[in-house]
Every structure is written in structure tokens, then in C-alpha cells.
Amino acid sequence: MNSVPNILWLEEIRKEDITSVGGKGASLGEMSSLGLPVPKAFVVTAQAFRRFLVETGLEQKVYKSLDHLDVENNDALEKAADTAKGLVLKAKMPAAIRDEVKKAYRKMASDDLVVAVRSSATAEDLPDASFAGQQETYLNIRGEAALLTAVQKCWASLYGARAIYYRAKQGFDDHTVNIAVVVQQLVNSEKAGVMFTSHPITGEPLTIIEGSWGLGESVVSGSVSPDKYEFDQRTEKVVNRLISNKKIEIIADGGHGTKVMEVATGRQDVQVLSDAEVEKLAMYGKIAENHYGIPQDVEWGIVKDAFYILQSRPITTIGTKKSGQGASAEKSGVKESHKILVQGQGASPGIASGKVAIIRDVKDTGSVKEGDILVTRMTNPDMVPAMKKVAAIVTDEGGMTCHAAIVSRELGTPAVVGTKNATSLLNPGQMITVDGEKGLIYEGVIEQPVQKQQAVSQQAGIGSAPIVTATSVKVNVSIPEAAARAAATGADGVGLLRIEHLILGLNKTPGWFITNHREEEFVRELHDGIKIVLDAFPGKPVWVRTLDAPTDEFRNMMGGENEPHEHNPMLGWRGIRRDLQSPDQFRLQVEAFKQLWKEGYENLGVMFPMVSHPDQFVQAKEMMRGWGVDVENVTLGIMIEIPSSAILVEDFLTCGIKFASFGTNDLIQYTLAIDRNNENVADMYQPKHPAVLHLIHDAIQTCRKYSVECSICGQAGSDPKMVEWLVEHGIASVSANIDAIAKIRETVARTEKRIILEAARNRNAE
């Protein structure tokens, strides 16, 4: 932890650095490494914030102000927040940190560059928690003094009332949540907005883009009703355009922050984006989604012809439809005969009835009662405590991608936004029913017929006409939250479940759990996470891979200080080699598998990563036997990701592996000596290099000889061209990313048909 510097530049950051740079910072670093147009930036790390707390002697004082706080008590919450924020704001920033921030700023540009200063909470943007809008952003900051003040204000915003409330409700510990600050060249967007790379509720391959004039803050904060565009990725066409009346825009105000301006009447109803611009943004979104393997919520901006991707974070709500208080979790079953009072955009699904509580000022949220329907001009992150209490939310303004709408979805509170005039058409105390899916508000209380939960595949509108293929088409899963969407693709199983993502999410290394005698907790977390995926794929094979995180990915977690500093972690202590030398760590994973097998999950297979010699497989198997696993009757297999395991596959087969799967991400890097994370050699990273194909071809043929399933779970398995080649060469199954399944299934089917047709034609010609 000590070794992490106070400042990290975007080019130095990867997604693994989330504990140092927060979700926003990690995502920007990762996006810039993909070649997306990200404005230049550096990050004041979470470690710098910790040093600030420790060196100023504030740490304990801040914690004390939050201890035993009842977050439901608005007054107490505000008071505690004011105390903690005041402490942080008044303290003097240590000279070393101050100097480094100033130095980095000067390095960005010779004269005073205008920057955006954004908070990036280090538990933020994790797949199961959106801290959207909980911490502050300061735009249009110029000069060293203003920058330092903005950084300190961002730090203080970690202790804002809504941030404290939100963390308490989501189960985050105030003592361990950190904050990093992203300092980024400000893009003075002429038009800007947000994009969901897939539908935020159903997960359909529909890119949804909201855009308005000026800086994106107007869309993000919900202070304008933006244009809305839908781009269907299947047909690659813009299928919907909703042009709104955009009354205001937020623009830079000289050297001091931003100002809200009225949009000239002639421009208010003008379409913000052309089809070509929608298409280009959707393409950038797709690159981010494909890279992360999960739909993204992206902020973008355009200046003349230049496109900028400003931030990207996972969408946390797909497939997690929850019901709010008094709400029905089902899809709309409201009969058309009921009188519709107001309509808007369905931003958070569910149906709820209740009494209208109109809130014109955030200060009045205290009057909102449990079960009311909160009706307000625009949803606002400050209203989170009230949003939690109410049965539904209705707003005049805002789009379905504004931050507060995201939060209402995560809280499971039905919401309809952008109704234009709900605050003037509805009356305080009036009984209404809100349909958060259809975006409709009905008069009176409408009793809901009890309906069966819709199948996820129906929600997602996928899998309606399954294509049957001889080659199994499976899906890769990294986080249990994605299990439902993965299953909705109709995939034939899970070809790779990477459990290190479960562990990284805990923010503590396996070693920490062992040293602190918290083994049971570790096993339970693993067991519960894997079970979610198994439950989503009943009767279908789910290959769970044992831990494979390079040491640098563990470094910033609790216990990470004990991780060795390796010259090249990619070639270091990871995968099966580490487990075999760390029996305690391996045993805990096996314990979780054992429990699941005992509970009847026979579909669970275990896959060993980074094996280079059959002896490692034998040793792992014997250790498992020693811990009471019936090793001959469970499914154990290997990843082929080191050339030696491809070359020696026959020896593995005679040792009893039940399956093998190509981890091409590593197989390519180890065959070609190309670091997969090094952009300097990225153009030499060739999945279809003849040497790689040679290894794969031979290993497939050998597995076929032994009738053992040979598969692929590396990224190349999501590339239709590569999959065509693999099917032609006899692969038994492929495992692809969720978004690629439909395309891969189609490719497999087409290739299989072509092979059959060619064989028949050849027979006829003989």
C-alpha cells in the first residue's frame, strides 16, 4: 500500500488499480488503453487521501463523528456529515501531496489548463454498487490554488449526507471506503450526454443515448429533458429518436465553475445528434462493453468533430428487478381502461400505488412519509433518504440515465421520469398508481393481478428461437450479478467462471482471511457467489476456475502488503502454481466446491489455470483427494494457456483430465512473447498467428482421439472468424462473452451446415 504514489497518470492505470484510483480512474485508464478518445488526466490516489487523513491526525476524529449514527434520522445524519466534512475541509493538505498535485498539473500543460476535478470513490462502480452522484465533481477549474481546493472538496464529499446514507444502506464500511480524485482536461462539450451500451433494464442489445446542448452535467443531473436515441445493435440502425424541448444548457463560466443558460428558442427543439453521430457513439460504447464483458454506462461529449469518452462504468441494474415498498415486481399488468394522468419515461420497473407528496425543495423531503409517491421537478441525489422510503418516484424532468434514476433502480423503487408537468398536474394527497416500466401514472389505486415472474429470457427478449448446434456454445461469467443475463442467452453452460473477481470484490486477499482466522467467511463468499451462477444454469455444465490473479492485482487489497513484488507478474506466482505452494489458499477454494457438490451441484466442474506440466494436475488432484474429494467422480479439467500444456496435452489426457479449454489470452502472449497488457507491442498480438493455430489444431485432434471435450474460453472464442476456424478444426465447444453469444451461435450453426453440405456434395461428386 505504501508503495502506491500520490499521483498516477492515466497511461499507468489499469482496471486492477481500482483500489488506488477508484472506479472512475480505473475505467478511464482502461479505456485509454483501448484507444478510446479519453481526455488527458492524472489521478490523486486513494493512498494520497489516506496519507492526508493519517498525517493530519484526522482519521480517528472522522470515524468518531460517524460511529453509531442512525442514518434514518435526517437531522443526525446532516449533523454528522457536516462535522466530518468540516474536519476534512479545514485541515491543511500535507506539503508533499500538495507539491505533487501542483507538479502534475503543470506537467499537463504549460499554461493553466482548465480541468474537471472528479471524485472517484474506491468502492464506486463495482458491479454490485453504484455510488452514482454520491461524491462531488467540480468543473472548469483553472490554476493551482483552485485545483487544490477542489481536490480537498472532493475528499470532503466522501462524507456528504447522501454518501453516508447510501453506503450504510448498501452495507459499505465508512472506515474502509476511500476516495481518489481524477483531474482531467475539461472538454467544453458543445453537445454531451450519457449512453447505456445495452438497455439498462432488460439487457437487450439496444444502445440508449441521451444528449443535450452544452456540458453533460445537465443530462447527468436531470436538469434537462434530453433527446433520446435508440440504436439497435442487431440491425445497426437508429430505431428511435425522441427529440425533447431542451430549455437550458450548462456551460463554462469564464474561469469559475459553470453556469446555467437558457437555450435560444430556435435551438431548443433541434435534434442534437445525427444518425452518424449516434452510430459512432454506439460503436465506442460497444468497444467498452466488449472489453469489460458487461454493459456500460458511458458519459460522452462532442466538440466540433471531436468525440470524447469521459467515463464508463458498469450498469448495475440489469436483470435485478426488485420491488420497492408497496410495489409489484412484475411487468405491467395494468388494464388500459384506467385513466392515465401523466406519462413519462419508465426509468425503474415495478408498479406501486400511494399518496402524492410533491417536493419543490430538497429541504422539504423530511415531510415525505413511508409509502408516499415522491413527485418532484427532478430527482436529485440529495433525495436518496426520501427515495428509499417512498413507494415510487415521479419527476417532471430528467432522463432514464440520470444518476438519481440509476440510484432509484438500485434501490428497487419504481420511477417515471421526464413527465414534464407531473408537479403541476398532480395534487398533494391524491392517490395514484405508478407503472415504472411503461412510464405511466394512473388515477387511483389499481389492484395488481398476481403474475408469475417473467423469465429473464423474456425480459431480455432473447433466446426466443434457439438455434441448435452440435458444437456447444457456452458463456463466460466473471461476476455472479451477470449470471441471469448470461443464462438468458440460452447458452449451453458456463465455459469459464473466473472466481478471482469474487475475491477482488471483497477487497481482502485470501492471505488476509487466513491470517485473520476468517477462513469460514472466505469459503462462504466463494460458495455463495458460485452458487448464484450454478442456480442460473441448472443441469448445464459450469466450469469454475480456481484462483488466477497475478500478485499485482492483490497488492492494493487488505493483506496486499504481503504480496511479493514481482518483476513480471504475468510470468509469476499465479494460477495453479501458487495454489500448489499455498495449500491453505487452495484448500479453502476446494472447501467451497465440496460444499456445492454435497448440495447436489453435479454440474460444477473445476478448471485449473496456468498448468504447464501434467505433474501439477496430478498434484492438485491428490491434494483434493486428501481433503476428501471423490476426485475420480467429479469433473476436473485444465486451461491450455501455456504452450507446454498444448504440446503435452496427451500426457494430461492419460492423467485423467475430463476437459481442456484454450485460454487464448495467455496462450497467445506466451507463444509469441507478447505481453497482453503492453500497448507498445499490441499490434504484434496475433490470435491467428500460425504458431498459435498450430498448437490449437494439434491439441484439438489429440483431445478428440481421447473423446475428451476440448473448448476455448479466451477472447478469441468471441470472434466469429476464429470460431469458424475452430469449428472446422473439430472443437467440441466454445465459450464466449455474454454479448457475443448470439453471433457466435449463428457462426457455429452456419459453419456446421457448410461442413455437412460440403461433405454431401463431395460424396455426390465421387
Catalytic positions are: 403, 713
Please state, in angstroms and rounded to a whole number, the distance separating the CA atoms of residues 642 and 657: 16
439 binds, among ligand PEP, Mg ion, none (CB under 5 to 8 A by kind): none
Minimum distance, C-beta of residue 716 to ligand PEP, in the bound complex (Å) = 8
- Name, in order, each residue with C-beta under 8 angstroms of 691's C-beta and a sequence gap of 6 or more: 671, 672
Minimum distance, C-beta of residue 669 to Mg ion, in the bound complex (Å) = 9
* Burial class of residue 627 in the structure, from the number of CB atoms within 10 Å of its CB (0-12 exposed, 13-18 middle, 19+ buried): middle
545: left (phi over 0), alpha (psi -120 to 50) or beta: beta
136 binds, among ligand PEP, Mg ion, none (CB under 5 to 8 A by kind): none
The DSSP string of 670-729 is HHHT--TT-GGGGGG--TT-HHHHHHHHHHHHHHHHTT-EEEE-SGGGG-HHHHHHHHHT
Which residue's CB is nearer to ligand PEP, number 227 or number 666? 666
* CB crowding 133-154: b at 16 or more within 10 Å, else e: bbbbbbbbbbeeebbbbbbbbb
Q: Do 536 and 586 meet the contact criterion of CB atoms below 8 Å apart? A: no
The interface with Mg ion within residues 187-246 (CB under 5 A) comprises: none
Which residue's CB is nearer to Mg ion, number 372 or number 666? 666
Which residue's CB is nearer to ligand PEP, number 381 or number 569? 569
Among 641, 709, 719, 739, binds Mg ion (CB under 5 A): 641
Minimum distance, C-beta of residue 105 to Mg ion, in the bound complex (Å) = 38
Minimum distance, C-beta of residue 387 to ligand PEP, in the bound complex (Å) = 38
Q: Do 101 and 148 meet the contact criterion of CB atoms below 8 Å apart? A: yes
Minimum distance, C-beta of residue 663 to Mg ion, in the bound complex (Å) = 4
Span interacting with Mg ion, options 243-251, 408-416, 456-464, 634-642, rule CB under 5 A: 634-642
The count of residues interacting with ligand PEP (CB under 6 A) is 10
296 binds, among Mg ion, ligand PEP, none (CB under 5 to 8 A by kind): none
Please state, in angstroms and rounded to a whole number, the distance separating the CA atoms of residues 257 and 142: 9
Measured over the CA atoms of residue 380, residue 383, residue 388 and residue 394, the dihedral's sign is: negative
> Considering the rule CB under 5 A, would residue 492 count as an interface residue with Mg ion?
no
> Considering the rule CB under 5 A, would residue 663 count as an interface residue with Mg ion?
yes
* Burial class of residue 598 in the structure, from the number of CB atoms within 10 Å of its CB (0-12 exposed, 13-18 middle, 19+ buried): exposed
714 binds, among Mg ion, ligand PEP, none (CB under 5 to 8 A by kind): ligand PEP
Span interacting with ligand PEP, options 90-98, 264-272, 345-353, 664-672, rule CB under 6 A: 664-672
Nearest 5°: phi and psi at 744? -70, -40
Please state, in angstroms and rounded to a whole number, the distance separating the CA atoms of residues 612 and 638: 10
Question: Strand 258-262 to strand 248-252: parallel, antiparallel, or no bridges (unpaired)?
Answer: antiparallel
> Considering the rule CB under 5 A, would residue 666 count as an interface residue with Mg ion?
yes
246 binds, among ligand PEP, Mg ion, none (CB under 5 to 8 A by kind): none
Span interacting with Mg ion, options 233-241, 309-317, 442-450, 657-665, rule CB under 5 A: 657-665
Among 27, 32, 472, 664, binds ligand PEP (CB under 6 A): 664
Please state, in angstroms and rounded to a whole number, the distance separating the CA atoms of residues 563 and 561: 6
* CB crowding 522-542: b at 16 or more within 10 Å, else e: bbebbbebbbbbbebbeebbb
> Considering the rule CB under 6 A, would residue 663 count as an interface residue with ligand PEP?
yes
Minimum distance, C-beta of residue 668 to ligand PEP, in the bound complex (Å) = 8
174 binds, among ligand PEP, Mg ion, none (CB under 5 to 8 A by kind): none
745 binds, among ligand PEP, Mg ion, none (CB under 5 to 8 A by kind): none
CA 77 vs CA 72, 173, 324, 498: distances in Å: 7, 16, 23, 39
The interface with ligand PEP within residues 279-298 (CB under 6 A) comprises: none
- Name, in order, each residue with C-beta under 8 angstroms of 366's C-beta and a sequence gap of 6 or more: 74, 386
> Considering the rule CB under 6 A, would residue 553 count as an interface residue with ligand PEP?
no
Which residue's CB is nearer to ligand PEP, number 263 or number 668? 668
Which residue's CB is nearer to ligand PEP, number 202 or number 718? 718
498 binds, among ligand PEP, Mg ion, none (CB under 5 to 8 A by kind): ligand PEP
Q: Do 11 and 35 meet the contact criterion of CB atoms below 8 Å apart? A: no
Which grid cell is 625? Answer: 483427494
713 binds, among ligand PEP, Mg ion, none (CB under 5 to 8 A by kind): ligand PEP
What is the SS3 string spanning 452-469? CCCCHHHHHCCCCCCCCC
217 binds, among Mg ion, ligand PEP, none (CB under 5 to 8 A by kind): none
Please state, in angstroms and rounded to a whole number, the distance separating the CA atoms of residues 134 and 170: 13
Q: How many CA atoms lie within 13 A of 235 on its CB side?
A: 7
Minimum distance, C-beta of residue 717 to Mg ion, in the bound complex (Å) = 12
Which residue's CB is nearer to ligand PEP, number 174 or number 548? 548
Span interacting with ligand PEP, options 380-388, 397-405, 660-668, 736-744, rule CB under 6 A: 660-668
Which residue's CB is nearer to ligand PEP, number 330 or number 548? 548
Which grid cell is 575? Answer: 494460477
Question: Strand 709-712 to strand 659-662: parallel, antiparallel, or no bridges (unpaired)?
Answer: parallel
Please state, in angstroms and rounded to a whole number, the distance separating the CA atoms of residues 298 and 286: 10
> Considering the rule CB under 6 A, would residue 665 count as an interface residue with ligand PEP?
yes
Q: Which residue, chain included where needed, has cell 450519457?
A: 194
The interface with ligand PEP within residues 712-751 (CB under 6 A) comprises: 713-714
Span interacting with ligand PEP, options 167-175, 264-272, 365-373, 657-665, rule CB under 6 A: 657-665
Q: Do 20 and 556 meet the contact criterion of CB atoms below 8 Å apart? A: yes
Nearest 5°: phi and psi at 380? -145, 140
> Considering the rule CB under 6 A, would residue 227 count as an interface residue with ligand PEP?
no
Q: Which residue, chain included where needed, has cell 475505467?
A: 27
Minimum distance, C-beta of residue 1 to ligand PEP, in the bound complex (Å) = 25
The count of residues interacting with Mg ion (CB under 5 A) is 3
Q: Do 412 and 326 meet the contact criterion of CB atoms below 8 Å apart? A: no
458 binds, among ligand PEP, Mg ion, none (CB under 5 to 8 A by kind): none
Which residue's CB is nearer to ligand PEP, number 296 or number 718? 718
Span interacting with ligand PEP, options 49-57, 151-159, 272-280, 661-669, rule CB under 6 A: 661-669
Q: Which residue, chain included where needed, has cell 471435450?
A: 709
> Considering the rule CB under 6 A, would residue 221 count as an interface residue with ligand PEP?
no
Q: Do 617 and 652 meet the contact criterion of CB atoms below 8 Å apart? A: yes
What counts of helices (H) and strands (E) characterise the chain? 28, 30
Minimum distance, C-beta of residue 544 to ligand PEP, in the bound complex (Å) = 13
> Considering the rule CB under 6 A, would residue 641 count as an interface residue with ligand PEP?
yes
Among 498, 555, 578, 587, binds ligand PEP (CB under 6 A): 498
Q: Do 68 and 145 meet the contact criterion of CB atoms below 8 Å apart? A: no
- Residue span 688-717 as binding mask against ligand PEP, x where in contact by CB under 6 A, dash where not: -------------------------xx---
Question: Strand 431-435 to strand 440-443: parallel, antiparallel, or no bridges (unpaired)?
Answer: antiparallel
> Considering the rule CB under 5 A, would residue 285 count as an interface residue with Mg ion?
no
Q: How far is CA 4 from the centre of its chain?
A: 24
Which residue's CB is nearer to ligand PEP, number 541 or number 714? 714
Minimum distance, C-beta of residue 711 to ligand PEP, in the bound complex (Å) = 11
Minimum distance, C-beta of residue 523 to ligand PEP, in the bound complex (Å) = 22
> Considering the rule CB under 6 A, would residue 162 count as an interface residue with ligand PEP?
no
Axis crossing angle, helix 18-33 with helix 275-292, rounded to the nearest 10: 130
Footprint on this chain of ligand PEP (rule: CB under 6 A): 496, 498, 548, 641, 663-666, 713-714
Q: Which residues bind Mg ion (CB under 5 A)?
A: 641, 663, 666
